[in-house]
Amino acid sequence: MNSKPANYVVFGAPVIGEAEIDAVVSVLRSRWIGTGPVVRAFEEQFRAYVDSSQAVALSSCSHGLFLALKALGIGEGDEVITTDMTFCATVNSIIHTGAAPVIVDCSRETLNLCLEGLERAIGPATKAIIPVHFRGYPCLMNRVMEIADHHGIKVIEDCAHAIEARIDGKHCGTFGQAGCFSFYATKNVTSGEGGMIITDDPEFAEEIRVLRNHGLSRDSWNRYSGDGALHYDVVRPGFKANMTDLQAAIGLEQLKRVDAKWSRRAEMWGEYRSALADLPLELPSDSDEGIRHGYHLFTLLLDIEKLTITRDQFITLLDSRGIGSGVHYRSIHEQSYFKNELGLSPDSFPNSSFISERTVSLPFSPALPEGEIERILTGVAEILSEHIR
């Protein structure tokens, strides 16, 4: 990264202002930098933002997915269904519980978990479904919940891309048993690293609080700050997945501007769509009635049949113009470990295979100045026009 020229457009650049910097410095100057009052405040603000009754902050969304499955008692002998078009963390979280992941193709239209495929994949061992609101576009959660409830299966929503996403005003993450959010460096709200679980089930939230902190009955802020019991008690073999006040300080400031940044990306969405409309590519799907798109990723599908270059060559050409981009995703069934260990064949995944070969995500940070947006859009148009078959 350091070898890139100064004007290189970094994919997924965060919007960090003086407020974030001051908030971190203030925690550093305080006498507590661990999990404490700032984490509590971040949990409270986040809970209020997504309109959920409980929120538990964590070190990552990956740990959130894992702990949510653990808290449901999912393990060896169980199956958990998720989509082929996701980040590996979704599937790893299932594997680490001892359960078997069952991978389903995505829909060609929404790029989210294919619902017919989901119904076919449900069997006697199925304990949970992890739908992913891929790139911020909500899964059809009413239908997912109908299917899940009919079979008595729990739903954990992977909301890593979907902090702002809603269906008829209801936030993604509030449909199933729990929703897991990510504050990784490139996500819409970042805390450097971090995650959040939301749920309306207080006992489930309490279990996550215990599991995130070694299985201790009380956290150390309570013990050291003088309002807690003298001794902790280990009630489970827990994990280490807490968020710190340093991270929460960044997250709190970021959350204040979440909707302002969303509005900026919504504007950019329109600008990108009209600038790229007549090129050999498929534009990302727009919002439907009642859907609030999270606008996390602006993913194009290159029409490679009409081009003399592959997607990877396109990315290299963009890079040589000083423009970074991303691939979301080369799907799960194409990754060696999952392919070999789960015996996944491309024949079962025609849609995700199609997308994996053609998808490219353009820089889409609300921090981008107009001049850089112009450079990105012109770059894409020129590269594609120069390579039409």
Ligand X SMILES: *Cc1c(COP(=O)(O)O)cnc(C)c1O
Which residues form the interface with ligand X (CB under 6 A)? 60-62, 86-87, 89-90, 132, 158, 160-161, 182, 184, 195
Distance CA 61, CA 159 (A): 9
C-beta of 86 vs 107, nearer to ligand X: 86
Is there a catalytic annotation at residue 261? no
In the complex, least distance from residue 195 CB atom to ligand X, rounded to whole angstroms: 5
Q: How far is the CB of 247 from ligand X (least distance, A)?
A: 11
**Which residue lies nearer to ligand X by CB, 50 or 132?**
132
Nearer to ligand X, 156 or 309 (CB): 156
Q: Is 320 helix (H, G, I), strand (E, B) or coil?
A: helix
Q: Which amino acid appears at position 1 of this protein?
A: M
The residues that bridge with 213 in the sheet, in sequence order, are: 240
Nearer to ligand X, 86 or 126 (CB): 86
Residue closer to ligand X (CB basis): 246 or 275: 246
CB of 229 to ligand X, least distance (A): 32
CB of residue 377 to ligand X, shortest distance in Å: 24
- Residue among 32, 24, 121 at smallest CA distance from 81: 121
Q: How far is the CB of 191 from ligand X (least distance, A)?
A: 9
CB of 303 to ligand X, least distance (A): 25
Q: Are strands 126-130 and 154-158 parallel, antiparallel or unpaired?
A: parallel
Output b/e per residue, 140-169; b: 16+ Cβ within 10 A.
bbeebbebbeeeebbbbbbbbbbbbbbbee
Q: Which is nearer to ligand X, 127 or 328 (CB)?
A: 328
β-bridge pairing 291-292 and 195-199: unpaired
Catalytic residue among 70, 187, 256, 306: 187
Q: How far is the CB of 67 from ligand X (least distance, A)?
A: 12
Query: DSSP of 154-194, one letter per residue?
Result: EEEEE-TT-TT-EETTEETTSSSSEEEEE--TTSSS--SS-
Query: Are residues 354 and 108 in contact, defined by beta-carbon separation less than 8 angstroms?
Result: yes
Burial code (b: 16+ CB inside 10 Å, e: under 16) for 260-286 equals ebbebbbebbeebeebbeebebebbee
Distance CA 112, CA 161 (A): 12
Q: Report, in angstroms and rounded to the nearest whole number, the Rg of the chain calculated over CA atoms.
A: 21
Listed in sequence order, the DSSP H helices in 79-140 are: 88-97, 115-121
Look up residue 333 and give its DSSP letter.
G
Q: Which is nearer to ligand X, 89 or 309 (CB)?
A: 89
Least distance in angstroms from the C-beta of 82 to ligand X: 10
CB 167 within 8 A of CB 233: no
- Which tokens belong to 247? 């991270």
C-beta pairs of 37-40 under 8 Å, 24+ apart in sequence: 37/221, 37/245, 38/245, 38/248, 38/249, 38/252, 39/242, 39/243, 39/244, 39/245, 39/248
Whichever of 11 and 32 has its CB closer to ligand X, that residue is: 11
Residues with catalytic roles: 187
